[in-house]
Amino acid sequence: MPRHLLVERLGRYLYEKIRHLVHYKRGDRDLHTKMTFRATVDAVIPRTPELEAELGPEHVPGGLDIGLAEYLVTYVNHGFQLGFPQLGPRGTLSFARPVAKALDVAALKLVLRGHNAEPPSRTFVRPLIEADATASTSLFAAAGPFARLSPEDRLRAIGIVDDIEISVARSEDELFEFNGGLVGQLVVGFAKLIYYSEWQGYENYDEPPSTRIFSDDPGAVQSWRQTGFPGIANGYPALRGYLGTETGSLGDGEVWTTVDVAAEPPVHILHEPGRFRENDYETADFEEVFPEETT
């Protein structure tokens, strides 16, 4: 059998096996995955009501208050995929659900090793549901081992996933590697990054970038409320001039505006480019740090 047909058949076989193992579901937002990602967000970016008196009410909301977990599921599914290129578009598996299952496995390992500080409990699940206006008993039932850990123990479980490394070589030319550190980066690093990004300003964040609509409303973005960011200012795709001073050579001509009045001499933006002048930079006293040896 030709090599390319063998690779294609093997790819299809592995694809079906992995899809069965993770119960693949396109557009994955099932309740278990939702609850697991809520548990990670609650541990990484919790509510901080103790900061209100000192910094203001805009510093209280955590990730759950702004729907970050749901967006993180979409972000992980769209941005990170496990797939087989030879199968084309069909050869991709959304990543959020396997990540959620890996976190459950890590939670069980944590408990079996006795490294959890508190016993798993439904008590730790309740804050994950209170942020949902459509809360129901089905959400409680969907909470897996990871979601039942205390927030501190969830972070310890993520540390266990970080230690997982898998390397499989079918041949000298083909190597599959998996580093569990990717899971921590997704649910910890990217959660923090997204929280302080502008994603809340998009009315339809799950659509392609070319069709998204951005409101540019500073009050609609949690991180902008915290930092006092005034919103996006339109840029100008045109050359505005050249930096220069009265004694420098980088710019010339009429002054368009001054950007540093306190400098001596002041720094302007000039209409014309400057010209390099003979002996503009004095180099008579320069000494080569590493002089070339001559023989």
Q: What is the pLDDT of residues 8-59, one digit of tens each?
A: 554 454 444 444 444 434 433 488 999 999 999 999 999 999 999 999 999 9
User: Please, are residues 29 and 7 in contact by the beta-carbon 8 Å criterion?
Assistant: no
User: Please, are residues 225 and 58 in contact by the beta-carbon 8 Å criterion?
Assistant: yes
- Asked if omega into 265 is within 30° of 0 (cis), the reply is yes
Q: What is the pLDDT of residues 54-84, one digit of tens each?
A: 999 999 999 999 889 988 888 888 776 665 5
Average pLDDT for residues 240-263, to the nearest whole number? 84
User: In this structure, what DSSP letter does residue 247 have?
Assistant: S
Which residues, at least 6 apart from 222, have a Cβ–Cβ distance to it below 8 Å? 58, 61, 65, 66, 195, 200
Query: What is the rounded average pLDDT for all residues in the chain?
Result: 77
Assessment of whether the complete model's pTM goes beyond 0.75: no
Q: What is the pLDDT of residues 213-243, one digit of tens each?
A: 887 777 888 888 888 887 777 765 667 788 8
User: Which tokens sit at 35?
Assistant: 């609850």
φ and ψ of 93, to 5 deg: -120, 130
Lowest average pLDDT, out of 38-47, 129-138, 188-197, goes to 129-138
CB neighbours of residue 10 within 10 Å: 13
Nearest to 270 by CA among 286, 282, 287, 258: 258
- Please identify which residue in the block is written with the tokens 């500073």: 218
How far the first Cα of the chain sits from its last, in Å, is 66
Of 26-40, 99-113, 136-150, 204-218, give the range with the top mean pLDDT.
Answer: 99-113
What was the pLDDT predicted at 83?
Answer: 58
Q: In degrees, to the nearest 5, what angle opens at C-alpha 176 toward C-alphas 171 and 182? A: 165
Residue type (1 letter), 259: V
